[in-house]
Each structure stands twice: as structure tokens, then as C-alpha cells.
Structure 1
Amino acid sequence: MDRDTAFRAFVEAHQRALTRLAYLLTGEEHLAEDLVQSVLVRMFGRWPRLSHVGNLDAYARKVMVNQYISWRRRRGSDEVPTAEPPDRAYVSEDSAVLRIVLRQALMRLTPKQRAVLVLRFYEDRTEREVADLLGCSVGTVKSQAHHALARLRTLAPELAPRLPALDDPAHSEGARR
């Protein structure tokens, strides 16, 4: 199989999952598409040297998270600090409303905290897998998840009953697999 055919097969097999991850990281459809395109362009340029990589999907996710964090550092924050938090409207149990509240709260986390939560709980990866993808220790994943969940509870208290408990052993490495 030639280079172009192999790369095209990889893209067809993984583009949808990569786009979903990018959207969860960025919270914006067009920015997510730009992020996926940027990652795929980088991978295509290195494609001949990637033949030694055992898990190209994991490699692409790691490149994506790193690229996203790099973009966020360059772009700065869209947040505008205020003395008082905005008034919160009553939130019904409507799942569409809860998704919007969750998205808004996720966008106020640091890029690394958001990446940890998305990889750990949305993609249901182990702490070790998340640590490998992010290039950090398992302890860092645990502390980032803990701080991110605590911040989500503060930013969107209406989500608290649906979030994993901060000290829930079911979400630790030993309880999985």
C-alpha cells in the first residue's frame, strides 16, 4: 500500500472520532475542524516516519491534545473576569439544557483540565492511558481530574448530581479492568 492510500485509509477510519474529540476540547465546530485538519496535515508530513508507531490513533489523539493546548496558550483566554458571577437561570432536567450548561462550564476550565475530563470520562480511558496521551504522570491526571470536577461543581452546581464523586473509587485505576 502506498503512502497516500495508507494515509487515506487512516483518515477514513479515524476522522469522525478525532473530530468528536476536537469538538469536545474546543467547544466550537469550526475550530474543531481546524484542529483536526492541522493534526492530519502534521501527520501526513511525517507519515513515512510513523510506520514504527504501534497505535496511530493514540498518536493522533496525543498530537491533537498537544496542538489544542498550544493553540490555547497562543490565543489566550476568551474569559472576561468579573467581580460577581453571572446570575444563573433555573435549569430544568432537559438534557439539551444540561449539555449547554456542561459545555459552557467545560469551556471555563484550563485546556489540560478539559483534556483530562474528556479523555477520562467521555472516552472512558484509564488514568494510565490519559497520562500516556498527555505525557504526564498518573498522579497529575488524578489531581487535574479532581480539581476540574471541583471547578465544574462551582461553575455549574446544577450538574453536581451527574458528575463523578471526587473520591469515588469506581473511577480510580484499580477499579477499572
Structure 2
Amino acid sequence: MEPWTEFEEAVMPHLKHIRAYCGYLTSSKWEAEDLLQEALLRAFKHYRDTGKLRHPRSLLYKIARNLQIDAHRRRRATNVPLDEALQQQHYDPDYVSVRGILEWMSEHLSERETEMLLMKEVFDYTYQDIADVLHCTVPAVKMVLHRSKNALRKRGRPQDSGAVTARGRAARRKSAPPPPYALDRWTASLMAGER
């Protein structure tokens, strides 16, 4: 049997869990896929060199975690002069993090839910202020915020990421992704700390 086939058979049952863990570590589906691919490559090299693969899930968790720690250390070591960072915010690692979080939120929440959540949790708007700006009632704001937080809590747990209820599928079909300018506007506001 080919080494790749044996490796694939050992890893395949754990792939869903490793993918969810990579998503948890990176908070961005694109970075998670890159991390998953790199972890699989390192695990295959280990398997090829040693000829054995004991506890593949534990090994892949450890490799992914170490790769993410190394990537974080590399990013942290990069120093950019303040005036240059302010002029080119799109190249700032914080921009990528902020944008990734907003893209993740917009996958699970509607545009209105995301906007309310940002206004309340990031910019400290009162319920009344949010209701005034978005032309709705205070109880509606409270209800939307409560549902949004619960939805994100459920999506934030790696072990729950694969389970989608019929209600969740229906909600996901109803809510279209926000337009790109909304993500750009939210990202720019968060980066600038504007209300």
C-alpha cells in the first residue's frame, strides 16, 4: 500500500475536527484552510520519516497549534513606523484580523444584526441610540442583540460547527451576505475607532 494512502486512511476520520480546530485558532476560513494544509503536510512528512502515525488527531492538533504560535510570533516581530501604518492600513496585520472577524460574523448574521452588534459591543451605543439610528424600537434592538450573540456563541464552538439545524439552514438562506462596501465601512470604522 502507498504511504500516502495509509496516511490518508489514518487522517480522514479526524479531518472534520482538525478543520474546526484550525478555524478556531485563526478565526478566518482562508487562514484556517492554509493552516490545515500546512498541518497535514507536516504530519505526512513525520509519517514518511518515521513510518508510523500514532494518535493522528492529537498530532495534528499539536502541529496546527505550533504552526499558529509560530505565525503569531512572526507577525508580532514585524515593526512598522506609525505614520506608515496609518497611511497603509490594509497591510497592517490588525486589518487582516479585523476584516477576518467581520467576514466571519457576516457569514452567520444579517447586515442589520452585525451593525447592531458592532454599535452596542464595540462603540458602546445605548439601546436607545441604536433604536434611533436604525429606526426601530428598544425591545427590537434587545431581541436582535440577544439572538445575534447566541448565534455567534453556537458558531464559535469547534465541536458545534458541523451541526446545522433546519432552522439555521433556513435563516442562512434568507440572509444574503452584506455588500462589500458594508464590510469595507465596518472595517474602516473599527480600524479608526470611529462611531
Q: TM-score with structure 2 length normalisation?
A: 0.43
The structure that has the greater radius of gyration is 2
Name whichever structure is richer in helix by fraction.
2
Q: TM-score with structure 1 length normalisation?
A: 0.47
Q: Which has the higher contact order (CA 8 A, sep 6+)?
A: 2
